[in-house]
Amino acid sequence: MSGGMREFTVMSREWCHLCHDLVAQLEPIAAEYGWSVKVVDVDQHPELEARWDELVPVLLAGDVELCHYHLDELAVRAHCAGFPLESSL
């Protein structure tokens, strides 16, 4: 399995209920496709807060912004489909 590529990053805040909802909805989809989910608290990173402040939660896959505020399940699944499951060969 190749490392790094199959990881979603959620720009989040501790007190943000939309953030928690998005992560809760994302995790089973990520697991289904074999992706990991990393949650980053923008309040701990001033440069991230400056960029994403009013948009959180923001779902990123690498440099691609898939959605913000609410999970776009179709966008997530379409993105995952671009990375087919690796064979066991």
The CATH number linked to 71 is 3.40.30.10
- Please give the average per-residue pLDDT across 65-73, as a whole number: 97
pTM of this prediction exceeds 0.85: yes
What per-residue confidence (pLDDT) applies to 2?
43
The range of the structural domain enclosing residue 33 comes to: 11-81
Contact (Cβ atoms closer than 8 angstroms) between residue 5 and residue 33: no
Report pLDDT digits (tens) over 18-65. 999 999 999 999 999 999 999 999 999 999 999 999 999 999 999 899
Q: Does residue 87 lie in a domain region?
A: no
Predicted confidence (pLDDT) at residue 85 exceeds the cutoff of 80: no
Count: domains in the chain: 1
* Strand ranges inside 14-73, DSSP E: 36-41, 58-61, 64-68
Longest Cα–Cα distance of the chain, Å, equals 45
Distance CA 56, CA 85 (A): 29
58 - beta bridge partners?
A: 11, 68
